[in-house]
Structure 1
Amino acid sequence: MMEPKRRSPRHGGPTFALRHRLFRCLWGLVWNGLGAWTPTPFFLWRRALVRLFGGKITASARIYPGVQIWYPPHLEMAEYSCLARGVNCYCMAPIRLEPYALASQGAHLCAGTHDVDDPHFTLHARPIVIAAHAWVAAEAFVGPGVTLAAGAVLGARAVAFRDLESWTIYVGNPARRSRARRRPLRKQAGLKP
């Protein structure tokens, strides 16, 4: 699948090439017309649409209705990972959900930002990783370049602009460490010994 080619908007031009913008336009029409509104049990159908447009989605991953995906080739979902209803997956750079990773209702995964000190607001896109058993709770925000390590939790409406440590719970804006998270038994969690 084609990678986005960014242009320098220094001379008033667009950030992305016309071909990339047309691809995203077609994707938006297909997703909003045939995928985003479908009934909850249609996981297979939504996975198929995202795969058709270049997403790397395993057969057990779940994409719920109302999810918005900016650029499918940048989305990777491993076994039993989940994008819940209303997640905004702004994948200007790659976003990867590892096994059993979860982004809850209304969460915002934002892999792009702009340089506010540049008069042309140059785009900066950096990948996001939601590691195995990590959880982005309802309406939380994950910024560009952030990794939630294995088992990390970003609480409801919290905002993360820095990496989160494994098996730790973070809350607030900006996200701060609240406490350690109890680790499940390895066998129950599907973890390797």
Structure 2
Amino acid sequence: MSVLDARSTGQHRGGASFSLGNRVFRLVWMVAWTLLAAWTPPPLRGWRAFVLRCFGARVGKGTRIYAGARVWHPRNLTVGDFVCIGPGVTVYCQGPISIGDYTVVSQGAHLCAGTHDIADPYFQLVTRPIHIGARAWIAAEAFVGPGVTVGDGAVLGARCVAMRDIEPWSVYSGNPARFLKPRVMRSAPDDTPPKGNAGAA
């Protein structure tokens, strides 16, 4: 999905950032989610996953995506198995966003894969992919910025702001996000043992 050239479209004056086809698709998607999914109770997680797949999202088995979550463009979303995306989560996938198996994205969190070139007089939109590894936790109202990789097993604390990569099996807090301590599991999960528990400062 290519971003339009701001010099031609005048994005700084309210011009379009994406093609007409892209905008029509997103309009149809928003109407479909509102009518088919946004009102559904939590147990209908399989139905919501089906609706997302119908619009191009890649959603793994056993995944719980709550009705109150907002996905900007489902074709840019890849979600692994047994993931939870909580109510009020914004998945602003102007660029690709991938979420690994067994990861939890808690209520009100914001994953933002788009930004602007602040040195460009036309305020060019720039998209950068976000990758969140397996068994990570993005806690309530945390923010993950464009181009950030959150490592396997990492924890981004509540209202934390990550504008740089987050190391695997580490706990971060604050704004900007700072390393707090390693995440050490008391015992390995029965299904898929983690590769390691060591965090990096």
TM-score by length of 2: 0.90
The structure 1 residue matched to 2:5, chosen from 4, 8, 14, is 8
Q: Give the partner amino acid of 2:133.
A: A
| Residue 163 (structure 1) aligns with | 165
Deviation at 1:192, TM superposition (A): 6.4
SS of corresponding position for 1:31: helix
Aligned runs of 1:2-151 on 2, under 5 Å? 4-11=1-8, 12=10, 13-151=15-153
Deviation at 1:38, TM superposition (A): 1.1
Distance 1:161 1:192 in 2: 25
Distance 2:52 2:102 in 1: 19
TM-score by length of 1: 0.94
Counterpart contact for 1:5–1:20, Cα < 8 Å: no
Deviation at 1:186, TM superposition (A): 2.9
Deviation readout 1:162-188 (Å, 9 max, x if unpaired): 011111100000000111111353343
Q: Give the partner amino acid of 2:4.
A: R
Q: Give the partner amino acid of 1:17.
A: S
The structure 2 residue matched to 1:182, chosen from 170, 181, 184, is 184
Distance 2:113 2:184 in 1: 29
Counterpart contact for 1:115–1:124, Cα < 8 Å: yes
Gaps of 5+ in 1: none
Deviation readout 1:55-97 (Å, 9 max, x if unpaired): 0001211101200000001111111111111100000111111
Aligned residues: 190
